Structure formats: structure tokens, C-alpha cells
Amino acid sequence: MRVIAKKILRNFWGHHADCEQQLKAWFQEASNSEWNSPNDIKKEYPSASITADNRMVFNIKGNNYRLIVKIHYGYKMAWIRFIGTHAEYDKIDATTI
């Protein structure tokens, strides 16, 4: 998968250094993946949540942070739509962000 954009993750871990290694690991794993459906992602990340419009919600660092990614399986692309604390996540609509 081509993950767009790592800069969003770098900016986030610049303010939340405790999740840097987990975000780097997620980015590397996602970049090396060949996801063809949400089920492929659930095999690797059982705690990930499937939402509308091909979005997946990943729990980062023991569910302290949430990462929302919109995936286009045909083009093998994943767009980072949101990264934030659990409290920030609770204030947004994961299906439309």
C-alpha cells in the first residue's frame, strides 16, 4: 500500500513522543501490506474498526490514540485522515472525516 502522508504521523509524534515507535511500525507494516479488503486488515489488526466509506480506525499505543485511514483497495492507497487522542477522536465523526 502507498500510505499518504507520513508527514501527518511525524507531526503528531513530534507532540506525542510516546507513540512514535508504534506509528513508525504501523506505517512500515501498512506500506508493506497488500490489503484487498477490510478483512485483510482485520487479519493483521483484529482490534481495527471498519467504518463507512472504506475507512479503518486503528488503535495506537493501547488505544490511547486513534488513527483513521481511508483506503482505496483498487489503487493500493491509504490516506491518513485523522490521528489524535482518544478524547479528540470522540469529538469527530470517523465516517466523514
- Distance from C-alpha of 43 to C-alpha of 3, rounded to nearest angstrom: 19
The grid cell for 22 is: 508504534
Residue 3, Cβ density class (10 Å: 0-12 exposed, 13-18 middle, ≥19 buried): buried
The answer to whether the pTM exceeds 0.85 is: yes
Overall average pLDDT of the 7-29 stretch: 96
Helices (H), the chain: 6-15, 20-31, 38-44, 86-90
**95 belongs to a structural domain:** no
Q: Which pLDDT band, with edges at 50, 70 and 90, does 62 fall under?
A: confident
- Specify the pLDDT at position 28: 97
Domain coverage including residue 12:
2-90
Alpha-carbon distances, residue 43 vs 33, 53, 81, 85 (angstroms): 12, 20, 22, 24
> How many structural domains are present in the chain?
1
Does the residue 76 lie in any domain?
yes
Residue 97 lies in a domain: no
pLDDT band at 96 (very low <50, low <70, confident <90, very high): confident
